[in-house]
Amino acid sequence: MPFTAATTSERHAAEPIEVIPSGRALGVEVRGIDLTKLGDAAFARLIQVWHQYSVVLIRNQRLSDQELIAFSRRLGDLDWAPIQETGRRFVEGLPEIYIVSNVKVNGEPIGSLGDGEAVWHTDMSYLEVPPKASILYSLEVPPLGGNTSFCTMYGIYEALPQTLKDRIAGLKIKHDGTYNSGGYVRQGVTPTDDPRTSPGAVHPLVCTHPDTGWRMLYLGRRRNAYLVGLELAESDALLDELWSFVDRPEFAWEHVWRVGDLVLWDNRCTMHRRDAFDPSSRRVMHRTQVKGEQRPS
Ligand code: OGA
Ligand code: MN
């Protein structure tokens, strides 16, 4: 079980970095670093830890948007954020920043996803080459709720019965680009609920992670997903069967946010979801997304 986290912490000899696994199937906290002053050796160690645990939490940061972008660029070129449902850019002049927020100014949301549940998903997998990483940084958090959970697609694949693994081997899945995880229609898209004709990208249903070499299930999101070549009903039944594994608590780690938390997740081998929260409280997060280097395969 390559994804299984050890429960002990370690102190790396060369760098003053503390690595504290969540004890869950994925997720780790790294302590003792300031992301604005991270040396190359510490950065290399961080990437190693990220590959091993898929999701890394770094607390107590104070980052400007430019510093968030500068750190994110160390992982690779950045994708531009999806455009707001209203058609506007989130931050003028900084197309890399995606704002996740329920806050409204003059009646207009400053960000995406509102205050409701965001269902399990992978970011922007409707692209031919989806981002390899997402980096979410918290500026304002509600006193309660709005927690974000992550699940391991390595662990979920590994847990499938062999007969199911055999049935899905070689299948391709359409990742829909119509709706975001909050249920909102993406900018410029005509909504449709026929996954065979909706915009999106087709990827292998089972992929090998290019850095770890581990096999994983690649589901993207449930709504409007389609297993290419199958009858719609057959595709939906098989997808429902696969998705029945996703909500099992043993595959997930839940993060309770504090201001100044930065979470870096591997967008290829994890999915995430967010709980709803009290609409009268404020939640403001800024996200970057690092371009993938190759099509999922
Ligand atoms: C995201 C996302 C959920 C959250 O930033 O990609 O899905 O917890 N965010 O805000
Ligand atoms: Mn997301």
Does any ligand 1 atom lie closer than 6 A to the CB of residue 97?
no
Question: pLDDT tens digit string along 172-186?
Answer: 999 999 998 888 888
pLDDT score for 12: 44
DSSP string, 13-45: SSS--EEEE-SSSS-EEEES--GGG--HHHHHH
pLDDT score for 84: 78
Q: Residue 215: exposed, middle, or buried by beta-carbon count in 10 A (0-12, 13-18, 19+)?
A: middle
pLDDT score for 183: 87
Question: pLDDT tens digit string along 257-287?
Answer: 999 999 999 999 999 999 999 999 999 999 9
pLDDT score for 15: 56
Q: Indicate which atom in ligand 1 lies nearest the CA of residue 285.
A: 10
Give the residue extent of every domain in the chain: 10-143+255-290, 153-243
Does any ligand 1 atom lie closer than 6 A to the CB of residue 180?
no
Does any ligand 1 atom lie closer than 6 A to the CB of residue 181?
yes
| Number of neighbouring beta carbons within 10 Å of residue 130 | 24
Does any ligand 1 atom lie closer than 6 A to the CB of residue 81?
no
Q: What is the largest CA-CA distance in the chain?
A: 56
What residues in the chain have per-residue pLDDT under 50?
1-13
Q: What distance in Å separates the CA atoms of residue 187 and residue 147, rounded to the nearest whole number?
A: 26
Q: Indicate which atom in ligand 1 lies nearest the CA of residue 136.
A: 5
10-143+255-290 carries CATH number 3.60.130.10: yes
Q: Indicate which atom in ligand 1 lies nearest the CA of residue 134.
A: 6
